[in-house]
Amino acid sequence: MAEVVVYHHVQGLTAGVTAFAEQLRKAGHTVHTPDLFDGRTFTSIEDGMAHAREVGFDTLLDRGVAAAEALPSGITGGLVFAGFSLGVMPAQRLAQTHPSARGALLLHACLPVSEFGAAWPEGVPVQVHGMDADPFFAEDGGDLDAARELVASTDQAELFLYEGEEHLFTDSSLPSYDEAATALLTERVLTFLNDL
């Protein structure tokens, strides 16, 4: 079984993010859900972004890294770093740089590999998931282009696109939730974790 660190999105550690983590736990995995917003949640992406800007993206990234560093040093088998949108920042950085990285799950976002190193590290498989018409993920280049470049650069990467335009479609506590797409994503995530 895998040990997974799940980083929340810009609306905070919502009930939907917690529910997703709980599904992984029920499948037998150990899951940590650090709260980068100190208990605050937001009803819209815009409000969450305003808070993230106020705190500072570098500060949030540092909090994510510190949360991983604070885990018990006796963890064997390595860590899988998972992020929802904003949470992809610490998840991807740690997947590319942390010595115990075992895998990465990048949901709703993907940064260029060059943000955190010259190439994706050997031995760290990664899945990227997003909706094909999500304006945050698929439009204006950005995340989808970064995901495609990642997949082209290594045979350890997979990109999964789902039909739709919702950004945080995996969060069951938000109006953007897509049950069918999330069920398929969860199935793929659990297969990924079980195969590590």
At the second CATH level, the architecture of 3-195 is 3-Layer(aba) Sandwich (3.40)
User: For residues 103 and 188, what is the distance between their CA atoms, to the nearest angstrom?
Assistant: 14
How many CB atoms neighbour CB 82 within 10 A?
A: 28
Q: Which two tokens stand for residue 150?
A: 């990642």
- H-type alpha helices, the chain: 15-26, 45-55, 57-69, 88-97, 143-153, 179-195
What residues does each domain of the chain span? Answer: 3-195
What is the tens place of the pLDDT at every residue in 26-46? Answer: 999 999 999 999 999 999 999
Q: How far apart are the first and last CA of the chain?
A: 8
Q: What is the pLDDT of residue 39?
A: 97
User: For residues 148 and 132, what is the distance between their CA atoms, to the nearest angstrom?
Assistant: 12
Q: Which residues of the chain have pLDDT under 50?
A: none
